[in-house]
Structure formats: structure tokens, C-alpha cells
Amino acid sequence: MERTLKDLKPGEKSIITKVLGDKGAVKRRLMDMGVTRGAEVMVRKVAPLGDPIEINLRGYELTLRKSEAENIIVA
Amino acid sequence: MSLKFALVGNPNCGKTTLFNEITGSTQYVGNWPGVTIEKREGKAKKIQADIKIIDLPGIYSLSPYSMEEIIARDYIVNEKPDVVINIVDATNIERNLYLTTQLLELGVNVVVALNMMDAADSRGDKIDLGIIEAHLQVPVLPIIASKGRGVKELLERALHVVQTATTGASAEVDPVFNEMHDASIVICIQKIEKNIIPQLNRMTGNSRWTALKLLEGDENVQKTLKVPNAMLSEIKVYQEKLKKKFDMDIETIIADSRYQFTTSVTRKAVKKKEQSSHLTVSDRIDKVVTNRILAIPLFLAMMFGIFSITFGTIGTFTIDFVDHLVNGTTAPFLSTWLAGAGAVQWLQDLIGGGLIGGVGSMLVFVPQIMILFFFLSILEDTGYMARAAFVMDRLLRKLGLSGKSFIPMLIGFGCSVPALMSTRTLENEKDRRLTIMLIPFMSCGARLPIYALYTAAFFSNNQTLVVFSLYLLGIVIAVLSGFILKKTILQGEVAPFVMELPPYRIPTLKGLMIHMWDKGKGFVKKAGTIIFSVAVVIWFLQYFNFSFQAVVDPGDSMLGAIGKTIVPVFAPLGFGDWKSAVALITGFVAKEAVVSTMGILHGVADATQGSTDLITALQTSFTPLTAYAFMAFSLLYMPCMAAFATIKREMNSWKWTLITVGYSTGVAWLVAFLIFRVGKLMGFS
């Protein structure tokens, strides 16, 4: 079973190995924001209502939903 | 010929601060992504008067994803600025350089301004500009836009670039390009450039960039160039080849390749201080503000706090102060002076009843509006807005919106017009439409005078609470509407939510003041123009009858006649007097005109009975219950003219504009009706 960004707990670090999904607006935005293969990510926290999550990558903070995090495979 | 320099950079990297620094203007700067919505122009007065500076919206990429990115890209490609000044946030070089790589691909003159060097310094980062320069092969200059440092040098360098630039990009793939992309990608681009581009009879950008965009499968470029299908399948061969090699789709391959370049440049040029284990200030604030339990109560408490200050002692003090100035000092002085100068009676009445009663009754609330704007500015400048979006996303998703829609809605508490325009940061067209339809329910600053007047007249013991309940009512109606509209006429997928959370910044007092004034001056200006005109027209219509004779009872005037014909519409809502009906109609011009119209109509009517106090006049024609219904109606019914025009422009459709206006007015009527009827049944009066 592959691990996704969604499975990481706050404080956990990993490296992105693949971003799933066909091309499309969401995927392109993720690319533009630097969510690409090889990037180191750390989950910072989960929003008060359980979704979205906040991650740190490439030296800045990004927020995305769990449904999007599910498509991001990490090592 | 004047030169054009375009400022391009990621959202929130300090473009507008730099723009203000160069042009000496006071554009408003916020700390949330998407502050600059349309491009703005200014002149570089400090350096050389004939340089035009264009501030483009902040973008992460040149791939056409949201409207702002399309605006920025089209500008660079079609308008061909002489130099693109690319502002890079020194604290976030790796991601900021991604846009830089795309600018370099375009083959335009680029000068990189490394901004916020002070912030990078204080974090202990060591940045070697020489290494970045060597890799990008364009000038890289350090600046601190907020303090004006390095700005002059930056512009001089840009000027130098224009003067020495060789025109026309070479057909050869330049060395930067080679370093930036994997050799196999470069080969494909070269082949497309050689074999396919010459067959096209149109051009956009240079041929190398066009080749790259075609390889990337950019639909906008395909459309502009009207690329025939045969050619597309030729390109597909290259795409397939790369796909096989990298086991990724073509867009990902290219994006990946760019990021590998920025990562390697950053690694070589930036020595970050060992990350210490202690939390940054941003982290500590975040711990509280986005805390699992505290976040939402904190948000509500903050809003409540803002309203209690705005409407509480401080707000009331400013009202009394201006009221004294207008009605206590200016009005008697003017009337004595006019009478002494022997002015005709109708002119005396126009000044006293029309201007003092109309414009004056609205001006009284301007300081209060300013206070509200001051607090909203703090929320925006600190970076709290983005956190609010983060906290609220889950709730908004239930309405089929994303947390990003929360920012325009919060801005809507100030004024609907900028709020409507800021929906352009939303990617999905349906989302944008829905957000636009909901924004008018957010109670804007112009409604505030109405609440202030009516609560002072009827709810003087718990003013803040009543006003807060109206703001909540607007939010509840927006929530329910979102739910209903998403299920009916605006069905669609759930919008994605991918957003940067900028670090907290301590706003400067100067920044806050500029920001507050920028928003608030509109109201002062409106008081002098639109409200003034409405006041004169209303005064005129209520002073004369259809045969242009002055009337004793305004009920017999032209306005009285007009009002009386529309009264039946409002009668079921409890405020069936013609004055209220007329006031609501003038509210379409500007919501605060409701107050000025009431001022004129009641002021004059009561002058004959020896009282000019608007509040006591209202107390005779309203009850607390009908006053509340009236305020609710004012909150919800059709947005003002300026908002109407903006909705039309942003929706780009008459149908949707009319749906929005019709919907809000319908809802307003229904809600006011329910408040009045149910309130009555429950024994309120």
C-alpha cells in the first residue's frame, strides 16, 4: 500500500514521489505551487474542522484539502 | 517614446509596495494573495518621468489557470513591456523562481529584484546573488521595497538592460534554456520550433516559447494560433516520447523540470540557517488562531469586538462629535447667514433641509465607517484573511464553495465592489458566480449608517447586539442561499482548495492608514457627489407638486405621489409609509442614501411641528419590530448601483446580473415579511 500525503501526521516529514491524476486545473495548480516529485514536505497541522491540512514545502506554507492530498504519493 | 516596465511576481511578494515606492502613489497593499486585481499604471517620477510602471496581479505561474494569470500573461506576451521586473521574495526563493523560469522561457528582458532581503537576513539566510545571476543569466538586485532600499539601482539597471538589449530573440535555444530543461525536452522543443512553427501563419511570443507551449499542450496558445489537428498529432508524437521516458504526463514533466532547476539554483545560492527547534512568531500566532477549539470562537469574538468598538462608546462618540459639528454649529450658522444675506426662502430650505438634512445626516457616520475599515485593514494586512480561509474551508465546502471564497466575503463587510472584484482569484467559473451572488448579503459599510440610525432610535440599550445580529442574518442568508443555489441553478463539482498561507506580518501604521483611507475616501467622495445629487433631487421632488408649486405637506408633493404608488409593495412588511418606500428606492443609488433621504423627508415634515430631530421623527413612524424588518430589508435587497455595475462586469452576463438582483430583492422581501409577521405573532410590536 502506497503512502499518501493524507496519511502523514502533523510534524511528519517525507518526500513526494508522485502526483496522481490526469491533467487538469487542480493538478496544474499543484505543480505550479511546487508539489512535484522530489520535493520535501512536512505536514504542519490539520484545520480545526478536520480539513484542509497545512503543509510546509520548498520553504513556505501551503494549504490543501485531504481529497487533494490523497493524490500525492510520498515515500 | 516612453518605456514600459512591468512588475511581475508571486502574490504577496511585495509588488505593490515596490510600485508605490517607485511611483510615489499610495496603492493599497494587503497581506493576502490576490490584492492587485487589475493591472495598474504609474510613472517612475523619482527616476525618469517617461518610464511607465505597470503593476500586474500576483501570479504563481504563466500557465493560464485563473483569470489573473491570463491577464498577466496576455499583457507580457501581447503588450511587450520593455523590461519585466520580476520580484522574488528572498524568504521564499525556490518557489518564486518557478515563475522566473517561465519568464526566461518567454525570452523577454528580465531583471530580478530580490525583495525582503531584511526578512531573509533576520532569519539568518545567506544568499549569494552572484550564483543566482550566473544561473539565470539576467541581472539580480537586492531590494527592500518597504524601506525603499535598492529601488533606484534596480531601475537604473533595468534602464541599462533596455539600452543594451539586442532586439529579437535568437532562433537558437539559449544556454539558460539548455540548463533549465532536460536535454530530451530541449531536443523536442528544437524540433517543434524547426519543423512545425514555420507552418503556422500566426505568432504569439517568440518561436521557442510557442514551441514549448505547444509541447506542453497549452490550450490557450493552441486556440490563439488556430493550430490545425494534423499539427497537433505531430506534436503528440513528441509528447508521447517524453511521457514514455519520464512516466508522467507532459505538463508534469515540464513543471518538474523547471522545479529541478530552481531547486538546484536555490541549493547552491542559499545557505539557510540550521532550522532551530523553537517556533517562529508566525507559528506561535498560528497555534492560537487556527487552534482546533479556539479558531471559530476566536473569529466570532474578534468580529464581535470590532462591532462593539465601532458601534460602542468610540463609535457613538464620533457620531455625537460630527453631529454637533454639522447640526449644532454649521447648520445654525448657515441658516442665520442665509437669512441675513436675504436669500430667498426656497434656497434657505434647500440648504437647511436638503443639504444639512441629506448630506449631513450621512456624513455623521463617516468616522464610524472609517473605524470599521481600520479594523478590516488590520485583518487584511496581518495575514489573518488567509487563515480564516483555512479555518472556514470545511464549512464553505458544505455550500459547494472553497475557503478561498471566504476572503471576498470578508472584504464584502467593507464594500461589495472590491469584494466582487477579488472573486477573480477563484479558479472555477461557477464558484465565482456563486460567490458573486452571495457577496451582496455581506453587510457593507454603506449599510452601517442605516443600522446606526435605527438602532439609536429603537435599540439604544443593546445597539451592538442588534447590529451584530444583522451581520449574522446576512451571513445566515448567504449560507442558506449558497446551499440552495448550488443544489439548483449552479450545480457543479466541489471547487478545489490549494492556497498559500503567507507569514504573519506586523502591519505598519502608515500602511493601515493608507489602506483605511483608500477604502474610506470613497464614502466621503460619494457624500459630496452622489449623495449630494440625490439629496438635491429628493429635496426638490418633495418640495414641489406636479405643477411646481411649493407644498405645505410633503405628502402632496411629486415625491409623495410617487411614494404612495409603491407603498403597497412594502405595506405587508410593516413599513407602509411613503417616506420609507422612497428612501429604499434611493438606496439603490447608494445604500447610505436611505439615511439622507429619511433625513430630508422627516426633517422637513417635522420642522413645521417644531422638531428637527430625525430620531424622534422615526420613533413616531416605526416600532422596534418594523424598524428591525426595515433594517433587514435594507441589508438584503438589491445591491447599490456601483455594485450592480460591478456584478454586470464580473458576470459578463445580463441574465446572471438580473438573477442576482432579483434573487436578493426577493429574499429581502420574504425575510422582512417573515420578521414582521412572525414577530407580530410572538407578541412583539
Joined grid coordinates for residue B55? 503593476
Residue B260: list chain A partners with CB under 8 A.
38
Closest-CA residue of A relative to B393 is A52
Cβ contact A49–B394 (<8 Å):
yes
| Among candidates B93, B259, B497 on the partner chain, residue whose Cβ is nearest the Cβ of A36 | B259
SS3 B115: strand
First CA to last CA distance, chain B? 71
Ranges for all domains in chain B classified under CATH 3.40.50.300: 3-164
Cβ contact B391–A29 (<8 Å):
no
Q: Range of A62's domain?
A: 3-74
Chain centroid to CA B87: 22
Tell me the shortest Cα–Cα distance from A59 to chain B, in angstroms: 6
**Of B664, B663, B540, which Cα lies nearest the Cα of B597?**
B540
pLDDT tens, B203-227? 777 788 888 888 988 888 888 888 8
Cβ contact A50–B394 (<8 Å):
yes
Closest-CA residue of B relative to A25 is B65
The answer to whether A3 contacts chain B (CB < 8 Å) is no
Q: How far apart are CA B144 and CA A37, in angstroms?
A: 33
Q: What is the pLDDT of residue B605?
A: 44
Size of interface A-B (CB pairs under 8 A): 129
DSSP secondary-structure letter at B58?
P
**The dihedral sign for the CA sequence B178, B181, B183, B184:** negative
* Mean model confidence pLDDT for chain B: 83
Residue A70: list chain B partners with CB under 8 A.
none
DSSP secondary-structure letter at A28?
H
* Mean pLDDT, residues B92-111: 92
DSSP string for B176-216: HHHHHS-HHHHHHHHHHHHHTGGG-S--SS-HHHHHHHHHH
Q: How far apart are CA B147 and CA A58, in angstroms?
A: 27
| Among candidates B272, B292, B394 on the partner chain, residue whose Cβ is nearest the Cβ of A51 | B394
* Mean pLDDT, residues B165-178: 59
Q: What is the pLDDT of residue B170?
A: 47
Kindly tell me if the per-residue pLDDT of B417 is higher than 50.
yes
* Mean pLDDT, residues B509-513: 81
> Which of B38-52, B328-342, B655-669 reaches the highest mean pLDDT?
B655-669
pLDDT tens, B591-618? 888 888 888 888 654 444 433 477 888 8
> Which of A17-26, A48-57, B61-70 reaches the highest mean pLDDT?
A48-57
Q: What total of structural domains would you count in chain A?
A: 1
**How many other C-beta atoms lie within 10 A of the C-beta of residue B617?**
21
Cβ contact A64–B98 (<8 Å):
no
- Residue B274 binned pLDDT confidence (cut-offs 50, 70, 90): low
Q: What is the pLDDT of residue B514?
A: 78
Kindly tell me if the per-residue pLDDT of B183 is higher than 90.
no
Q: What is the ipTM of this complex?
A: 0.94
Q: What is the pLDDT of residue B662?
A: 94
| Among candidates B391, B395, B427 on the partner chain, residue whose Cβ is nearest the Cβ of A25 | B427
Cβ contact A65–B496 (<8 Å):
yes
Cβ contact A68–B259 (<8 Å):
no
Cβ contact A32–B296 (<8 Å):
no
pLDDT over 90 percentage in chain B: 19
Place of cell 449574522: B472
Cβ contact B63–A28 (<8 Å):
yes
Joined grid coordinates for residue B78? 501581447
Cβ contact A38–B263 (<8 Å):
yes
Kindly tell me if the per-residue pLDDT of B550 is higher than 50.
yes
> Which of B229-243, B313-327, B509-523 reaches the highest mean pLDDT?
B229-243
Window from A52-66, B300-314, B425-439 with minimum mean pLDDT:
B300-314
Residue B309, C-beta contacts closer than 8 angstroms, at least 6 positions apart: B315, B371, B375
Kindly tell me if the per-residue pLDDT of B323 is higher than 80.
no
**The dihedral sign for the CA sequence B337, B339, B342, B346:** positive
* Mean pLDDT, residues B624-632: 94
Q: A42: part of which helix (H) or strand (E)?
A: strand A40-46
Residue B114 phi, psi dihedral angles, 5° rounding: -85, 100
**Residue B490: exposure state from Cβ atoms within 10 A (0-12, 13-18, ≥19):** middle
Q: How far apart are CA B144 and CA B362, in angstroms?
A: 42
Tell me the shortest Cα–Cα distance from B556 to chain A, in angstroms: 59
| Among candidates B98, B393, B499 on the partner chain, residue whose Cβ is nearest the Cβ of A32 | B98
Tell me the shortest Cα–Cα distance from B389 to chain A, in angstroms: 10
Q: What is the pLDDT of residue B300?
A: 84
Q: B381: part of which helix (H) or strand (E)?
A: helix B366-382
- Residue B537 binned pLDDT confidence (cut-offs 50, 70, 90): confident
Architecture of domain B175-271: Orthogonal Bundle (1.10)
| Among candidates A36, A45, A47 on the partner chain, residue whose Cβ is nearest the Cβ of B255 | A36
Chain B interface mutation, best of A60, A62, A66, highest count of B Cβ atoms under 10 Å: A60
CATH number at residue A57: 2.30.30.90
Q: What is the pLDDT of residue B199?
A: 79
Q: What is this structure's pTM?
A: 0.80
Q: What is the pLDDT of residue A34?
A: 92
| Among candidates A33, A63, A64 on the partner chain, residue whose Cβ is nearest the Cβ of B60 | A33
Cβ contact B500–A62 (<8 Å):
yes
* Mean pLDDT, residues B63-90: 85
Q: How far apart are CA B29 and CA B384, in angstroms?
A: 14
| Among candidates B256, B291, B498 on the partner chain, residue whose Cβ is nearest the Cβ of A36 | B256
**Where are the alpha helices (H) located in B312-364, listed in sequence order?**
313-323, 331-340, 345-349, 361-363
Q: What is the pLDDT of residue B522?
A: 73
Tell me the shortest Cα–Cα distance from A29 to chain B, in angstroms: 7
* Mean pLDDT, residues B10-39: 68
Window from B267-276, B443-452, B554-563, B626-635 with minimum mean pLDDT:
B267-276
| Among candidates B94, B255, B498 on the partner chain, residue whose Cβ is nearest the Cβ of A26 | B498
CB B457 within 8 A of CB B618: yes
Q: What is the pLDDT of residue B278?
A: 61
The answer to whether A39 contacts chain B (CB < 8 Å) is yes
Kindly tell me if the per-residue pLDDT of B445 is higher than 80.
yes
**Of B180, B156, B5, which Cα lies nearest the Cα of B87?**
B5
Cβ contact A32–B291 (<8 Å):
no
The answer to whether A38 contacts chain B (CB < 8 Å) is yes
| Among candidates B259, B292, B403 on the partner chain, residue whose Cβ is nearest the Cβ of A34 | B259
CB contacts under 8 A, A 52-71 vs B, are 52, 54, 58-65, 67-68
Cβ contact B503–A61 (<8 Å):
yes
Q: How far apart are CA B204 and CA B454, in angstroms?
A: 59
Q: How far apart are CA B596 and CA B532, in angstroms?
A: 9
Closest-CA residue of A relative to B287 is A45
CATH fold of the domain at B3-164: Rossmann fold (3.40.50)
Joined grid coordinates for residue B479? 449560507
CB B37 within 8 A of CB B68: yes
DSSP secondary-structure letter at B165?
P
The answer to whether A45 contacts chain B (CB < 8 Å) is yes
Residue B499, C-beta contacts closer than 8 angstroms, at least 6 positions apart: A62, A63, A64, B33, B386, B389, B390, B403, B404
Kindly tell me if the per-residue pLDDT of B337 is higher than 90.
no
CB B16 within 8 A of CB B92: no
